[in-house]
């Protein structure tokens, strides 16, 4: 099976992936989510500069340990440190190249703008959301404006302890099979 590019992200009920100042303290942790099992589905993560700066600054890069990380930035200096590559190249070309290589799935780790660019380029295969039961009212949108893209529901799980609803969608025409939510215990 070819590698899938999977956008897997937490989102508020009103459609934001971060608060107005980039904060994500509204994302609740649920013990039913096995983050190690989730991360084990990927060997590569791609993200935009803003996401990288947040996760690198607060220690969350540890969750991506053992993965090859590609950061797209026009302002950070290029880098090819072990496990991390910062590039100013066209994200669509880089991701198309990554998808053609052997390996596990690729985690589109964050960045609504990067998500929109790769979705519009036809490279996103799945959209997997952890809908957090909170209304932010403002913030960084899940997806900036652009063309309509229909999705096909492939799996859903409700986590009663937190109220999180995990949803997995396939993008028609993407690499299949559609994902299942296997990282939720019980």
At 122, which CATH number? 3.40.430.10
Q: Is residue 131 part of a domain?
A: yes
Total tally of structural domains belonging to the chain: 1
Among 72-86, 105-119, 143-157, where is mean pLDDT lowest?
72-86
Q: The domain containing residue 53 runs over which residues?
A: 5-15+33-150+162-170
Among 157, 108, 161, 138, which residue's Cα sits nearest to residue 12? 138
Whether residue 135 contacts residue 8, with contact meaning beta carbons closer than 8 Å, is answered with no
CA atoms within 13 A on the CB side of 124: 28
> pTM of the entire structure?
0.92
Within a domain: residue 180? no
Q: Per the domain annotation, does 157 fall within a domain? A: no
Q: Is residue 22 part of a domain?
A: no
Residue 2 confidence class, pLDDT cut points 50, 70, 90: confident
pLDDT value of position 94? 96
Buried b (16+ CB within 10 A) or exposed e, 71-110: bbbeeeeeeeeeebbbbeeebeebbeebbeeeeebbbbbb
Any domain includes 88 = yes
pLDDT for residue 53: 84
Q: Give the Cα separation of 108 and 15 in Å (integer).
A: 17
Please report whether residue 105 resides in a domain: yes
> Is residue 178 situated within a structural domain?
no
**How open is the CA angle 84-88-90, to the nearest 5 degrees?**
110
> Does 69 map to a domain?
yes
With bands split at pLDDT 50, 70 and 90, how would you rate the model's confidence at 95? very high
Residues 6+ apart with CB under 8 A from 81: none
CA 87/CA 96 separation, integer angstroms: 14
User: Region 147-154: what's the mean pLDDT?
Assistant: 94
């Amino acid at each position: 099976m070819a590698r899938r590019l999977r956008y897997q992200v937490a989102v508020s009920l009103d459609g934001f992936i971060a608060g107005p100042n980039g904060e994500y303290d509204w994302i609740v942790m649920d013990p039913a989510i096995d983050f190690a099992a989730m991360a084990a589905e990927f060997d590569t993560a791609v993200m935009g500069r803003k996401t990288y700066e947040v996760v690198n600054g607060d220690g969350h890069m540890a969750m991506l340990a053992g993965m090859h990380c590609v950061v797209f930035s026009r302002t950070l200096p290029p880098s090819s440190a072990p496990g991390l590559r910062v590039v100013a190249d066209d994200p669509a070309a880089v991701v198309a190249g990554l998808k053609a290589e052997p390996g596990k799935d690729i985690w589109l780790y964050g960045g609504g703008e990067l998500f929109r660019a790769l979705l519009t380029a036809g490279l996103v295969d799945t959209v997997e959301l952890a809908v957090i039961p909170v209304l932010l009212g403002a913030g960084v949108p899940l997806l900036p404006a652009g063309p309509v893209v229909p999705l096909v529901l492939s799996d859903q799980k409700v986590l009663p302890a937190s109220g999180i609803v995990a949803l997995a969608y396939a993008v028609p025409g993407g690499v299949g099979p559609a994902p299942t939510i296997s990282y939720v215990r019980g």
